[in-house]
Amino acid sequence: MKVEPVKVVVDDVSVAFDSRGHTVVALDRISLAVAAGEFLCVVGPSGSGKSTLLRVVAGLLRQTSGDVRIEAERPGAPLTAMVFQEHALLPWRTVLANVVFGLENRGVSRAQREARAREMLALVGLSRFARHYPHQLSGGMKQRVGIARALANDPEVLLMDEPFAALDAQTRTIMQEELLRIWATLGTTVIYVTHSLEEALLLGDRVVLMTARPGRVSQVFPVELGRPRGLEIRSSPAYGVLLEKIWTELRDEVLKSMEADRDP
């Protein structure tokens, strides 16, 4: 495998916040490096700070200490664009107007931003729905718009926060295949947060396992299953072995997390 240059460095990042007088440590000295063009999956029990990590990288949340560096290659492009769990589209904007939103805010000319948006809508297969409003779309279609909106900005890093968690199983499978196809086309660096190990193994080049609160990096597992991948990888022995191996670790963290939530 060719060694790619480092794209994102998360260096010793901690996040702590006050909750009813107690200091809660959400992230505890996390360090990570993501290679350019890599698809990195982050898994962990609820409360392990997966989303917090993503929000710090996105600049939506400021870390208490530590440093996040993103190597910018294209001047003018935003560092990150996020696909949110609950799609978070603007209900009063049409699909097209949602996809151009970021470009519009950056002052890109109308003709340019609409051309770019149409290109992205074609990529996610929603060209015919440009004039629809989000509430007229199914959950899967809304999430496609969310992906098109993020990609339209041509971000250095694409961040995805459990984007398919709210979808039904069949739609989720289709969306995962679509995402792999798009990623293969564009070669974007992706950080993808999920609570599903199966999803992480299907999508990721590596899987970062986080611990129960306070969130730390427990282990990093390379996923050496070859590409392109589809659902058929589930029948390969290597898949089963890796799944079993990560699950053994994850299981402990989930139990710890449940223990911490229990009454003393």
Partner 1 sequence: MSRGPGWLAQHWLTVASPVALLIGWEVASAVGLLREAFFPRPSTVLVHLRRLVADGTLLGHALPTLSRIGGAFALAAILGVVTGLAMGLWRRLREGLDPVFAVVYPIPSVLFLPFVSFLVPRGETALIVTTAATSFFLIAFTTTEGVRQIDPLVVEAARHYGARGRRLFTAVLLPGALPFIFTGLRLGLGYALIVVVAVEIVSASRGLGALLWLSWQVLKVEDMYATFLVIAALGAVLSYGLAALRARLLPWAQDVAER
By CB under 8 A, tell whether 90 contacts partner 1: yes
By CB under 8 A, tell whether 135 contacts partner 1: yes
By CB under 8 A, tell whether 86 contacts partner 1: yes
By CB under 8 A, tell whether 182 contacts partner 1: no
CA-nearest of 203, 200, 202 to 50 is: 200
Tell me the per-residue interface mask from 92 to 111 with partner 1, x by CB under 8 A, - otherwise.
Answer: xx-------xx--xx-----
Q: How far is the CB of 105 from partner 1 (least distance, A)?
A: 3
* Contact residues for 148 (Cβ-Cβ < 8 A; gap 6+): 99, 117, 120, 121, 123, 124, 126
* Contact residues for 106 (Cβ-Cβ < 8 A; gap 6+): 76, 78, 153
- Nearest-angstrom CA–CA distance, 42 and 123: 25
Encoded amino acid at 66, one letter: G
Structure tokens at 89: 């589209």
User: Which residue among 7, 50, 118, 149 contacts partner 1 (CB under 8 A)?
Assistant: 149
Complex with partner 1: residue 86 or 119, whichever CB lies closer: 86
By CB under 8 A, tell whether 44 contacts partner 1: no
Structure tokens at 100: 């151009």
User: Which residue among 12, 17, 60, 138 contacts partner 1 (CB under 8 A)?
Assistant: 60
Structure tokens at 55: 């929000």
User: Which residue among 58, 68, 121, 191 contacts partner 1 (CB under 8 A)?
Assistant: 58
By CB under 8 A, tell whether 133 contacts partner 1: yes
- Nearest-angstrom CA–CA distance, 100 and 108: 9
Contacts with partner 1 by CB under 8 A lie at 58-60, 78, 81-82, 84, 86, 88-93, 101-102, 105-106, 133-136, 149, 153
